């Protein structure tokens, strides 16, 4: 469900030409794809499990669990802005190795945490690792590709972690949950699991899901070890010198003085509100559907529909809207995504859950890839990467807001026991996310008109 990343401003080529050039790319690019696939199998299994893990395994209330997921997002938001300078200082390969080692250690600690305190420490450590891995993997794609192949290279990177998301639901989350399900009571139970080196341990289904993330992070670590130490400089014969001419402070000063930047930030603010829909599906929806339909509900399989469909709908949506202005498509897609929560106001049956996932994904397939095109279109030459890096902001800000809000909404309208009014909860979520496309529509003339210095 991640936005299509920057790919530079390479000229348009045919699909056949892109494939031929990509096949001729250094092996390091394909190793980055494989590392991304493994690491995000763990990431996408862990994220929707977090609220269930905090509440079921450590007895947290919905409110406390929401605040701690908010703290997790705060760590992400703060650290993601400094990780780039760390990677530039010590190298992309070294930074990836550090982040994957930390990810494996953090997930192991989460899987085996004996009490709430160690669990929170492990959760925040995982936040650091996640903040390091995604932007540095994106940088690795840029460094391992050249100008001709960069657009298609980033497209395949976008595909790689959507494949991870599609696989993690049915083959990690649901498999682990079924293994710990007591069919007599319909409840998840603790079971003894024999672990390599550590021996037999009592684990929960949520802990087992975290434990699989250790394996995936370790596999990604081994793949990154196979990267050549100088891979990030092989495809940039003159690029590195050119990038050093302007200091990061000078680039930041230029961007902050650009009027188009502030229009871009306003657009990102409204898209952050739309992005709250996706975060509610991670943080609110798993608890809601388990409470409404029971522990045997295939949480992973239903949510993986989003990633399975996006693999088909994203390129199809781009082809169908090729002649439309990027801003118009972003607005339409944001509106479709924002109305998807209202479907759950009609009940919690399986057809309604599938319908919600489909509508949400149709909107994402429209606005997520075209947002990249809009980013590059409004950015001054030579500052495209700075603009696009800020596109990560909506995801982290929306998680920061949704974490605490999710806890209060669940406790009020969909508690673990007592009367529930889940339809009101989803109506409130839908109404709040509609503010995003409404704000974009009201400000459409200001957002799309070029500043005087660009006309």
Instruction: Please provide the DSSP assignment of 429-449 as one string.
Output: HHHHHTHHHHHHHHTHHHHHS
Q: Which of 2-6, 106-110, 269-273, 305-309 has the lowest mean pLDDT?
A: 2-6
pLDDT greater at residue 227 or residue 397: 227
pLDDT attached to residue 32: 93
Tell whether 215 and 290 lie within a shared domain.
no
Q: What are phi and psi of 294, to 5 degrees?
A: 100, 165
Tell whether 302 and 201 lie within a shared domain.
no
Average pLDDT over residues 356-377: 78
What is the average pLDDT score of the chain? Answer: 82
For residue 9, pLDDT over 50 is answered with no
Q: In this structure, are residues 260 and 451 in contact, taking their beta carbons and an 8 Å threshold?
A: yes
Tell whether 233 and 310 lie within a shared domain.
no
- The CATH number that applies at residue 2 is 1.20.1250.20
Q: Give residue for tokens 């459409």.
A: 444
* Beta-carbon count within 10 A of 260 CB: 19
Tell whether 218 and 293 lie within a shared domain.
no
Tell whether 230 and 302 lie within a shared domain.
no
Strongest mean pLDDT among 9-13, 243-247, 317-321, 400-404: 400-404
Domain that holds residue 40: 1-245
Q: Structure pTM?
A: 0.76
Task: Tally the domains of the chain.
Answer: 2
pLDDT attached to residue 136: 83
Sequence-separated (6 or more) residues with CB below 8 Å from residue 300: 45, 48, 168, 169, 170, 171, 172, 173, 174, 177
Tell whether 241 and 264 lie within a shared domain.
no
CA distance 206 to 194: 16
Q: Which of 88-102, 108-122, 412-426 has the lowest mean pLDDT?
A: 88-102
Tell whether 226 and 259 lie within a shared domain.
no
Tell whether 289 and 433 lie within a shared domain.
yes
pLDDT attached to residue 191: 92
Average pLDDT over residues 177-189: 90
Q: Pick the closest to residue 171 from 270, 55, 303, 278 (CA basis).
A: 303
Q: Which of the four pLDDT bands, split at 50, 70 and 90, describes residue 142?
A: confident
- Render pLDDT for 27-50 as a digit per residue (tens, 0 to 9): 898 999 999 999 999 999 999 899
CA distance 421 to 63: 17
Q: Which residue among 245, 274, 309 closes a domain?
A: 245
**DSSP-assigned letters across all residues of 328-354:** HHHHHHHHHHHHGGGGGGG---HHHHH
* Beta-carbon count within 10 A of 190 CB: 13
């Amino acid at each position: 469900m991640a936005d299509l990343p920057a790919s530079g401003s390479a000229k348009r080529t045919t699909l056949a030409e892109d494939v031929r050039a990509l096949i001729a790319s250094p092996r390091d690019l394909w190793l980055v794809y494989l590392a991304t696939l493994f690491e995000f199998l763990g990431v996408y299994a862990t994220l929707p499990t977090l609220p269930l893990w905090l509440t079921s395994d450590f007895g947290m209330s919905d409110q406390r669990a929401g605040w701690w997921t908010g703290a997790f997002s705060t760590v992400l938001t703060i650290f993601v802005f400094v990780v780039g300078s760390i990677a530039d200082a010590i190298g992309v390969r070294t930074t990836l190795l550090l982040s994957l080692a930390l990810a494996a250690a953090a997930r192991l600690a989460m899987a085996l945490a004996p009490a709430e305190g160690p669990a929170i420490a492990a959760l925040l450590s995982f936040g650091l690792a996640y903040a390091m891995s995604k932007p540095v993997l994106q940088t690795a794609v840029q460094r391992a590709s050249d100008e001709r192949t960069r657009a298609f290279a980033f497209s395949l990177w976008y595909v790689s972690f959507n494949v991870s998301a599609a696989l993690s639901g049915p083959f990690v989350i649901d498999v682990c949950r079924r293994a710990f399900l007591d069919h007599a009571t319909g409840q998840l139970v603790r079971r003894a699991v024999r672990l390599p080196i550590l021996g037999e341990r009592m684990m929960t289904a949520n802990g087992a899901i975290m434990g699989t993330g250790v394996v995936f992070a370790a596999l990604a670590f081994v793949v990154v070890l196979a990267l050549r130490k100088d891979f990030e400089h092989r495809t940039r014969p003159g690029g590195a010198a050119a990038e050093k001419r302007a200091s990061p402070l000078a680039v930041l000063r230029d961007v902050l003085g650009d009027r188009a930047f502030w229009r871009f930030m306003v657009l990102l603010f409204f898209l952050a509100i739309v992005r709250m829909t996706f975060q509610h599906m991670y943080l609110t929806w798993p608890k809601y559907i388990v409470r409404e339909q029971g522990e045997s509900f295939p949480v992973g399989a239903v949510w993986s529909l989003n990633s399975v469909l996006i693999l088909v709908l994203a390129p199809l949506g781009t082809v169908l809207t090729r002649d439309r202005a990027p801003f118009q498509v972003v607005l339409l897609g944001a509106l479709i995504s924002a109305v998807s929560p209202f479907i759950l106001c009609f009940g919690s049956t399986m057809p309604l859950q599938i319908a919600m996932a489909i509508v949400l994904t149709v909107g994402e397939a429209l606005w997520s890839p075209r947002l990249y095109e809009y980013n590059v279109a409004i950015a001054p030459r030579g500052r495209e990467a700075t603009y696009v890096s800020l596109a990560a902001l909506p995801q982290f800000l929306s998680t920061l807001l949704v974490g605490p809000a999710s806890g209060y909404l669940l406790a009020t309208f969909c508690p673990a026991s007592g009367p529930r009014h889940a339809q009101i909860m989803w109506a409130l979520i839908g109404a709040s996310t509609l503010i995003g496309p409404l704000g974009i529509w009201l400000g459409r003339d200001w957002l799309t008109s070029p500043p005087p210095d660009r006309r």
